Amino acid sequence: MRQLQPDVVLVFGTSLLGQPLIDAFAGNVINIHLGLSPYYRGAGTNFWPLVNREPEYCGATIHFLDAGVDSGPILAHVRPDIRVDDGPHDIGNRTIVAAAEALTSVARAHVTLPLRGRSQEGGGRLYKRADFSADAVRRLYTNFETGMIDEYLRDRGRRDAALSLVTLETQGTSDFPAEEKEVPAR
Output the pTM of the full model: 0.84
Higher pLDDT, residue 4 or 51: 51
- Per-residue pLDDT of 60-91, as tens digits, reads 999 998 877 778 899 999 999 999 999 999 99
Q: Which domains does the chain have, with CATH numbers?
A: 9-161 (3.40.50.12230)
57-88: burial string, b at 16+ Cβ within 10 Å, e else: bbbbbbbbbbeeebbbbbbbbbbbebeeebeb
> CA triplet 112, 78, 91: central angle to 5 degrees?
145
- DSSP category for residue 182: P
Name the H helices within the chain: 19-24, 48-51, 88-112, 134-145, 148-154, 156-161
The string of pLDDT tens digits covering residues 126-165 is 899 999 999 999 999 999 999 999 999 999 999 999 998 9
Residue 171 binned pLDDT confidence (cut-offs 50, 70, 90): low
